[in-house]
A and B are shown apart, each in its own frame.
Chain A
Amino acid sequence: MKEIVAIIRPNKLDEVKDALETIGCNGITVTEVKGRGRQLGITESYRGSDYRIDMLPKTRLEIIVADEDADSVVNTIVETAQTGDIGDGKIFISSVEDVVRIRTGERGEEAV
């Protein structure tokens, strides 16, 4: 199993969520976060003075899927969350040892 953590633009959340649903990926955890990437944020100008805003609001998605579904989920996120501009975000993929569904006690892929 894989854990897919995607940091995306907040205004892309609905689009990504709908697209994931169409490929059968329903389980998703969403967190509002702040962060910065390589560009160290953006510059805003107030009354003629420029300020670097380096902690930008982002949306963090956590998705656990079976190994064979990981690429499809990642590709869907890339396709829908991409604008081509700086700040589109990143996706981190890591292996998951086990999953437990609390309601039933099921384990492994059955619990995903």
Chain B
Amino acid sequence: MDPVLNSGDTAWMLISTALVMLMTVPGVALFYGGLSKKVNVLNTMFMSLIAFSIASIVWVLYGYQFAFGADMLGGLIGNPANLLFSGIGVDQLSTLAPTIPETVYIAFQMTFAAITVALVSGAVVGRMKVSSWIVFSIAWLSLVYVPIAHWVWGGGFLFQWGALDFAGGTVVHINSGVAALALALLLGKRKDTKLLPHHLGYSVIGAALLWFGWFGFNAGSALSAGGLAGQAFINTNTATAAAMVSWVIIDYLKTGKPTILGAISGAIAGLVAITPAAGFVTLQAAVIIGLVTSVVSYLAISYLKPKLGYDDALDVFGIHGMSGLWGALATGLFAAPFINSLGTGVFYGNPGQIVTQIVAIAIVAAYSFVATLIIGKIIDIVMGLRVEEKEEIEGLDITQHEETGYRI
């Protein structure tokens, strides 16, 4: 691509950025808010709201610079040449997306950082102190998200090894899913571990907004308004639809009835799974990725979770972690060079790609898990992670915010 500003690309990226913003607030906020208890609905939504604001500030002050600055320290981190947004000209074009302004690319990537932290909150609803969540968000973005974004997208060592992640299967979903698991283990189980959504209608609206915003997330990751964006768009929609159908079939087989929560869970699983593959695979592969991913997440939630006994309240690990894992592996299998010359998977003659994907998944998952445990443990020692038992019983809306979601 010529390093010349393209107004069509820029317009599409501005829209995409706004679409991804919509995924966090109100998408994740409503999706998680509806699934939580009535007495925790505001706290659950607040965790997404504040995550977006924290990421917005961290990202422009130093996050972007470390994540996408010129590679240094052997692929570990970017060179923060433009700390505090200094030296970034208004007409300066992005190095990684040379037809759009750097400011637009920064804003686009900022929304990815924000939603990744917000996703983690689903595992800890109903029991984490809001002050600890705020500190955790700052620390986790800085010490976990930023380096991983550099490794995979910013020219770091996994990027150099050829790991494929079109829009965030590894950086966003495996990362947030594994971090959610680590934080859930640190916090321990809630007193009442049932998943009884207090307002599934909120969750349906939230899931629909996520689906809508995901077009910006995935098709925007083409970084231009062209054929690749179109392919990513149609792949995203198709895989999501297939995953919803697949989860509904599982529901029918298990209980004889389709559930609404199953339908939207399938949709989210499909969106997650197609994310790393969206701009690398054919439409036929997108169907397979979507159909399989619901089985993966369903098994994780229904069998793995009860067996291992962790309390991932809203199944962040089960859906984002496990469907992200499947999507990242599927990218290594199905990446077609005639869709995107940057990716050739096993089925198109590059068996090494699956090895690269597995290595990238293992490194990101291991780092995310250990680093999250360390950050969480330090916060626990310094200020405590979990609310008092009586506060948990009374609900976090009133005890953490002195507000209630429902007056009537």
Give A residues with C-beta under 8 Å from B: 44-49, 51, 53
Contacts and interface: CB of A to CB of B under 8 A. Distances in A.
Nearest to B262: A47
B: contact size bracket = 10 to 19
Contacts of B250: 48
B134 interface: no
A49 B195 contact: yes
12 contacts: A45-B255, A45-B259, A46-B197, A46-B259, A47-B195, A47-B261, A47-B301, A48-B254, A48-B262, A48-B298, A49-B195, A49-B306
Contacts of A46: 195-197, 259, 261
B302 interface: yes
A46 B102 CA distance: 44
Interface of B: 194-197, 250-251, 254-255, 257, 259, 261-262, 265, 298, 301-302, 306, 315
Nearest to A44: B196
Contacts of B259: 45-46
A47 B255 contact: no
Interface pairs A-B: 10 shortest CB-CB: A48-B302, A46-B195, A45-B255, A47-B301, A46-B261, A51-B194, A51-B196, A47-B261, A47-B265, A45-B259
B212 to A, nearest CB: 23
Contacts of A45: 251, 254-255, 257, 259
Tell me what chain A mostly uses at the interface: helix, strand, loop, or mixed. strand
Contacts of A53: 196
B268 to A, nearest CB: 11
Nearest to A48: B302
A51 B194 CA distance: 8
Contacts of B306: 49
Nearest to B195: A46
A49 B306 CA distance: 10
A51 B37 CA distance: 15
Contacts of B298: 47-48
Contacts of A51: 194-196
With most chain B CB atoms within 10 A of its CB, the pick from A45, A48, A51, A53 is A48
Nearest to B318: A47
Most chain B Cβ neighbours within 10 Å, of A44, A46, A53: A46
B190 to A, nearest CB: 14
Given A47-B301, A49-B306, 16 more contacts: A44-B196, A45-B255, A45-B259, A46-B195, A46-B196, A46-B197, A46-B261, A47-B195, A47-B262, A47-B302, A47-B315, A48-B250, A49-B195, A49-B302, A51-B195, A53-B196
A47 B317 CA distance: 14
A107 to B, nearest CB: 37
Nearest to A50: B255
Contacts of A44: 196
A89 B306 CA distance: 36
B301 A48 contact: yes
Contacts of B194: 51
A49 B197 CA distance: 13
A51 B259 CA distance: 14
A45 B255 CA distance: 8
B360 to A, nearest CB: 29
Nearest to B255: A45
Nearest to A45: B255
B294 to A, nearest CB: 11
A45 B256 CA distance: 11
Contacts of B195: 46-47, 49, 51
A45 B252 CA distance: 12
A111 to B, nearest CB: 33
A47 to B, nearest CB: 5
A56 to B, nearest CB: 13
Contacts of B265: 47
A47 B315 CA distance: 9
A53 B254 CA distance: 19
A42 to B, nearest CB: 13
Contacts of B255: 45
A110 to B, nearest CB: 38
A44 B259 CA distance: 10
A53 B298 CA distance: 23
B379 to A, nearest CB: 29
Nearest to B259: A45
B291 to A, nearest CB: 18
